[in-house]
Amino acid sequence: MQVSRGLEDVIIKTTSLTFIDGEKGILRYRGYDINDLMNASYEEVIYLMLYGDLPSRGELEEVKSIINESYDVPESVINVIFSLGRSCDPIGMMETAFGALASVYNPAWDKERDKETALKIIAKASTVTCNVMRAKEGLKPKVPEPSESYAKSFLRSSLDKEPDELEVKAMDNSLVLYTDHEVPASTTAGLVTASTLSDMYSCVTAALAALKGPLHGGAAEGAFNQFVDIGSPEKVEEWFSRKMEEKKRIMGFGHRVYKTYDPRAKIFKRLAESLSSRKPEAKTYFKIASKLDEVGEKHLSEKKLFPNTDFYSGILFYSMGFPVYMFTPIFALSRTLGWTSHFIEYVEEQHRLIRPRAAYVGAEKREFVPLEKRS
Ligand code: ACO
């Protein structure tokens, strides 16, 4: 009997979506290197992931128009978000909103419509995410206004200000960077749900539930809080030595797949450096992070531990004006594309109910003793 603990190395599907070479630090979506995709908009990547190729101008406009027409959500869903307390967990709030959307829409799987359903879900994810923030900040509900850019509409509706070009580009790149990473726990949880042919909104709800756990989402928040805790670049070495003595982990370091510098972390570092330079505190956090990156690499690289995607991303989101609790929701917003792409690939091309087995190791057959005779 062989139990694969944590399903490590179990292949649950084939995919044409994402390729990762963890030894060389390569990440590609549908064959395109993540560095090259920094020249594509999130909407181009949406088309690429769902339809298989980069779009023509006409195809891109069509995707944008479906998204722009789909930001609305039923009032009952907005009410659900705002009825939760301001102290509620933001991913829990997203789960609740997606659970509500699943009960309202409940779309059946249909090859002719699945991709359009995914586009609608991606649009509504923006509405849900920005309203989770608005509810937590005590603001009034808002539906993102259509614009030429998904990233711009999200920034406007979340932060109530007109983002500049650099911020829109950085958000666009961030959405692409977090789009997909093969089959981590959240995608797998959603795939199990998709395998029962439950609707796509419910699959996203399941993925969000898995993302909520501290072993999956939350590392960007953890990494950022370390920089706040350290306080200044001069204190990094002493802080690091103390953490090592206490056998604590450095958040934003290490990855199950990457045994070298995560290619996304390199890009996030550049983006964080450029945006943090506008805000004194963010600039200090960036300097602390760069120093910790250097010290960590010196001491942890022999264990093949390097910064991962969450190491610098929080500084970027903070520089844009997002509170720390929004780092994981922004990850979820972006990953909704990866999730829905995998669900469609699985259901349309390789569907089978996912139903593993457990090896029974409990008691042999026992005699039942009625309650009154038990001592
Ligand atoms: N800091 C210090 N040491 C670490 C770290 C770290 N961040 N990560 C792993 N190690 C050490 C372990 O203590 C262990 O050392 P040992 O062999 O001396 O006991 C060794 O490296 C291997 O650790 P594992 O736990 O077996 O590695 P695994 O592949 O299971 O863990 C994980 C990967 C969970 C990401 C881990 O590196 C970690 O906890 N990192 C910090 C949290 C984090 O940044 N998570 C975000 C991941 S990316 C994402 O989800 C988007």
Q: Which of 187, 241, 303 maximizes ligand 1 atoms within 8 Å of its Cβ, making it the mutation to test the pocket?
A: 303
Claim to verify: residue 344 and residue 200 sit in the same structural domain: yes
pLDDT at 9: 86
Is 174 domain-assigned?
A: no
Ligand 1 atom at minimal distance to the Cα of residue 303? 21
Task: Give me the domain span that covers residue 272.
Answer: 219-320
Claim to verify: residue 296 and residue 337 sit in the same structural domain: no
SS3 (DSSP) at 20: strand
Claim to verify: residue 237 and residue 335 sit in the same structural domain: no
- pLDDT mean over 285-303: 96
User: pLDDT over 90 for what percent of the chain?
Assistant: 95
Is 55 domain-assigned?
A: yes
Is it the case that residue 164 has pLDDT exceeding 80? yes
Rounded (5°) CA angle 291-292-298: 95
pLDDT at 210: 96
Is 258 domain-assigned?
A: yes
Q: Which of 249, 298, 330 maximizes ligand 1 atoms within 8 Å of its Cβ, making it the mutation to test the pocket?
A: 249
Distance of alpha carbon 57 from alpha carbon 4, whole angstroms: 46
Catalytic residue among 114, 172, 255, 262: 255
Which residue's alpha carbon is nearest to atom 36 within ligand 1? 254
Distance of alpha carbon 48 from alpha carbon 29, whole angstroms: 8
H or E element, residue 314: helix 310-320
pLDDT tens column, 110-137: 999 999 999 999 999 999 999 999 999 9
Claim to verify: residue 22 and residue 136 sit in the same structural domain: yes
Is 173 domain-assigned?
A: no
- Predicted TM-score (pTM) of the model is 0.95
Is 5 domain-assigned?
A: no
Distance of alpha carbon 152 from alpha carbon 158, whole angstroms: 10
Distance 48 CA to ligand 1 centre (A): 32
Question: What are the tokens at 283?
Answer: 């600039």
Is 359 domain-assigned?
A: no
**321: which residues sit within 8 A by CB, 6+ positions away?**
159, 161
Which residue's alpha carbon is nearest to atom 35 within ligand 1? 255
Catalytic residue among 114, 172, 310, 342: 310
- Least Cα distance to 180 among 314, 325, 332 occurs for 332
Distance of alpha carbon 155 from alpha carbon 142, whole angstroms: 12
pLDDT tens column, 322-344: 999 999 999 999 999 999 999 99
Is 78 domain-assigned?
A: yes
Distance 20 CA to ligand 1 centre (A): 18
Claim to verify: residue 66 and residue 144 sit in the same structural domain: yes
Claim to verify: residue 76 and residue 101 sit in the same structural domain: yes
Is there a contact between 265 and 311 (Cβ–Cβ < 8 Å)?
A: yes
User: In this structure, which amino acid lies at residue 25?
Assistant: G
Protein residues with CB under 6 Å of any ligand 1 atom: 216, 219, 249-256, 300, 303, 305, 308-310
Claim to verify: residue 272 and residue 156 sit in the same structural domain: no
Question: What are the tokens at 219?
Answer: 């590392």
SS3 (DSSP) at 112: coil
Distance of alpha carbon 53 from alpha carbon 44, whole angstroms: 9
Distance 303 CA to ligand 1 centre (A): 10
Claim to verify: residue 146 and residue 31 sit in the same structural domain: yes
Is it the case that residue 202 has pLDDT exceeding 80? yes
Query: CA torsion, points 280, 237, 296, 91, in degrees to nearest 10?
Result: -50
Of the pLDDT bands very low, low, confident and very high (cuts 50, 70, 90), residue 68 is very high
Which residue's alpha carbon is nearest to atom 49 within ligand 1? 216
Distance 248 CA to ligand 1 centre (A): 10
Of the pLDDT bands very low, low, confident and very high (cuts 50, 70, 90), residue 2 is confident
* CATH number of the domain within which 48 lies: 1.10.580.10
* CATH number of the domain within which 280 lies: 1.10.230.10
- Least Cα distance to 225 among 325, 132, 299 occurs for 325
Is 92 domain-assigned?
A: yes
From 280, 305, 320, the end of a domain falls on 320
User: pLDDT over 70 for what percent of the chain?
Assistant: 100
Of the pLDDT bands very low, low, confident and very high (cuts 50, 70, 90), residue 236 is very high
Which residue's alpha carbon is nearest to atom 25 within ligand 1? 256
- Least Cα distance to 260 among 219, 299, 305, 313 occurs for 305
- pLDDT mean over 186-207: 98
Mean pLDDT score of the chain:
96
Claim to verify: residue 187 and residue 99 sit in the same structural domain: yes
Distance 252 CA to ligand 1 centre (A): 9
| Residue-wise burial string across 144-154, b where 16 or more C-beta atoms lie within 10 A, e elsewhere | beebebbbbbb
Question: For tokens 């309203």, what's the residue?
Answer: 131
Query: Residue 42 to residues 148, 224, 335, 345: CA-CA distances in angstroms?
Result: 11, 25, 12, 20
- Least Cα distance to 129 among 176, 65, 175, 64 occurs for 175
Claim to verify: residue 119 and residue 33 sit in the same structural domain: yes
Task: Give the number of domains in the chain.
Answer: 2
Which residue's alpha carbon is nearest to atom 47 within ligand 1? 255
Query: Residue 230 to residues 18, 236, 240, 318, 334: CA-CA distances in angstroms?
Result: 36, 6, 9, 17, 29
Ligand 1 atom at minimal distance to the Cα of residue 256? 29
Claim to verify: residue 132 and residue 233 sit in the same structural domain: no
pLDDT at 161: 95
User: Is 255 one of the annotated active-site residues of the chain?
Assistant: yes
pLDDT tens column, 37-67: 999 999 999 999 999 999 999 999 999 999 9
Distance 247 CA to ligand 1 centre (A): 12
Which residue's alpha carbon is nearest to atom 9 within ligand 1? 254
Of the pLDDT bands very low, low, confident and very high (cuts 50, 70, 90), residue 217 is confident
Claim to verify: residue 87 and residue 102 sit in the same structural domain: yes
Is it the case that residue 143 has pLDDT exceeding 80? yes
pLDDT at 215: 82
Distance 308 CA to ligand 1 centre (A): 10
